[in-house]
Structure 1
């Protein structure tokens, strides 16, 4: 298992000015950094890749659909813009050295029309994801689509629906980003949700139920790591939380208070807890096998 930290804890637009964060991230015991960007033009991906490599860190890459950019819109011009955004994001992921491009990619985050999704919207989503497969293959990048809780999207909320999406898209380069925060709201049991996704889990975001330090809330971490072990997942577990002083992210994620004594403590204390919890799950599984 590899552990990373998402840069949304400090900034919504990671850039060269934020490179001093990399040394701190490495010193806390992370294996990698997950760089978040919502615009790609002029982004110095290669320089950031080099800087991370020099610190001994691997890189993953995340983004999201925002505003009116949507893969499920009934307006072809909006879908065209969303498809172009996705392709540029995939290219940038490859450029920064990330094997994955992760995030909520069907409908804009926060768009809630006050109704259920329609069958046409679902079909458009499936078709648009399939259309991205050649770009993913060309750059050897896996797309990990993230289900969000019902207060952030109406399109994809549960692990069961995420498994259905993958079954219909049916492409090895398209999987699911499992996020403990969202699952804690939408799924009956995180472990069962992970087992239901099985090999479709392409990436994992770890966050406490209040977006605070992992291990200080009610997420059932033993069950999470046991299920990941049972399904054979042995890749990235990335802490994704948000700094309350990062204005645009705080507004989007409804962060109205400080989540920990310092934002750095979410990272430094969180990774220590997650390593221990993952280790215990592995030890327990090994003991049962004896």
Structure 2
């Protein structure tokens, strides 16, 4: 398995230190939150993008893509009533596709719960229509740059729109283009009625990216979730993408979280290797 870390965990450190630390702990991929490196994609000149990518590569770290795409932005929304806002959102996602590709990445995780929720009175069906329209508008740029937008279901605690893998799959099917796929997140899937291994198997044909964490907002192995059946299901499904650690509670300390997470994942994989020997 290939392990990446959502690097906003180290946001207050220099990029050099972030890459050095991730590599030292055993991560070979970095998943970047755009707000942690720039206020707007246009702020990063080609030389800046090259420097970020080169620094990561010097430490043996690949920038795998972007997430938190619309966090800390204004004027963007997937299901807004105003078509100009939806068009601006598609344009912004296109700019992010350029940034992602310039950094060497190939995936963009669309979570951004606040920028996708349905306003009161807007039906789910209309929300889906608007989401499909917005995503279709940015697909040409993503396709040109070799970037896949990975749609992330989130729990009802975070948003009232796209709460299950089935919800996301419906939109992916409607868009029906190669540059959109499913992203699965353990914390989010814990909120579904179907067990996580079954969700992994059911949607394996459209899953392109995977986040590991727990309901306590910490990393894998730092909560109550047993990852043995989850990683077994990923193996059985022949998932060959990145396993990316995303946490939301930083209180135990960034280095501690990153270390505990990857050491736990190594232990789980060792158990699986032992069981199959």
Partner of 1:224: 230
Partners of 2:43 and 2:249 in 1: CA distance = 25
Cα deviations by residue, 1:231-253 (Å, 9 ceiling, x for unpaired): 22111001011354xxxxxxxxx
Cα deviations by residue, 1:4-37 (Å, 9 ceiling, x for unpaired): 111121228x8xx332121111010111111111
- TM normalised by structure 1 equals 0.84
Matches within 5 A, 1:6-21: 6-11=6-11, 17-21=14-18
Runs of 4+ in structure 1 off by over 4 angstroms are 114-117
Residue 244 of structure 2: SS of its match in structure 1? strand
Distance 1:156 1:124, change over 3 A: same
Deviation of 1:277 after TM superposition, in Å, equals 1.7
Partner of 2:3: 3
- TM normalised by structure 2 equals 0.88
Partners of 2:233 and 2:102 in 1: CA distance = 32
Residue 48 of structure 1: SS of its match in structure 2? helix
| Stretches of structure 1 lacking an aligned partner (at least 5 in a row) | 245-257
Matches within 5 A, 1:211-250: 211-242=217-248, 244=250
Distance 1:187 1:174, change over 3 A: farther
Deviation of 1:87 after TM superposition, in Å, equals 0.3
Partners of 1:112 and 1:283 in 2: CA distance = 47
Partner of 2:180: 174
Equivalent residue in structure 1 for 2:137, among 128, 131, 135: 131
Partner of 2:82: 75
Deviation of 1:164 after TM superposition, in Å, equals 2.0
Distance 1:226 1:104, change over 3 A: same
Matches within 5 A, 1:15-94: 17-38=14-35, 39-43=40-44, 44-60=48-64, 61-66=66-71, 67-94=74-101
Distance 1:282 1:163, change over 3 A: farther
| Stretches of structure 2 lacking an aligned partner (at least 5 in a row) | none
What is the count of residue pairs matched by the alignment?
267
Partners of 2:81 and 2:8 in 1: CA distance = 31
Q: Quick check: 2:77–2:115 contact (8 Å CA) kept in 1?
A: yes
